[in-house]
Amino acid sequence: MTTAKRFEDLEVWQRAKDLTNLIYKYSTDGTFARDFGLRDQMRRAAVSIMSNIAEGFESQTQAQFIKYLGLAKGSAGELRAQLCIARDQGYISEENFSELFLLAEICSKQLARIIQYLETQPNARRMREDGAEYNVE
């Protein structure tokens, strides 16, 4: 596993960002755009994946990082369930459904692998910003 200095360096965060942008893209038009409940919930679930990865990465401890990664994984599962509804309602094509579902599934698997790795490294030091100086005056 490569060492990341920022959450933006994490492949899983980058993939979650791509997934979020696609959810916004596909939910902007037609009847999907007018189903405010499902549209907004799917957008929140997608944003939650990438946000929890970022928040966990920036957290103080490895245990907190693992917790936030678990929350992100839960949001990926939630989004997959919602994608099924969007497809069944005809809001997205089968092709778009497959693309989004696969991305969400890959995110979930990547998160599971990172969690598993971190749990086997109980004494690993958290990644910190190297050489950062902050002027608070």
Query: Tokens in use for 110?
Result: 């990547």
In a domain, 132, yes or no: no
Q: What's residue 2's pLDDT? A: 60
State the total domains in the chain.
1
> Crossing angle, helix 62-88 and helix 36-57, to 10 degrees?
160
The answer to the question of residue 106 being in a domain is: yes
Token digits for 99? 């693309």
d(CA 90, CA 71): 29
Asked whether the predicted pLDDT for residue 132 surpasses 60, the reply is no
Distance of CA 103 to the CA centre of its chain: 10
Confirm whether 24 is domain-assigned: yes
Q: What is the CATH number of the domain that holds 78?
A: 1.20.1440.60
Residue 81 is assigned to a structural domain of this protein: yes
**For 55, which DSSP code?**
H
Q: Give the per-residue pLDDT at 60.
A: 84
Domain coverage including residue 76 = 8-119
> What b/e sequence results for 1-38 when a residue is b if at least 16 CB atoms lie within 10 Å of its CB, and e otherwise?
eeeeeebeebebbebbbebbebbeebbeeeebeebeee
pLDDT in tens, 37-79: 999 999 999 999 999 999 999 998 999 999 999 999 999 999 9
Residue 73 included in any domain: yes
User: Is residue 100 domain-resident?
Assistant: yes
Q: What is the pTM of this model?
A: 0.87
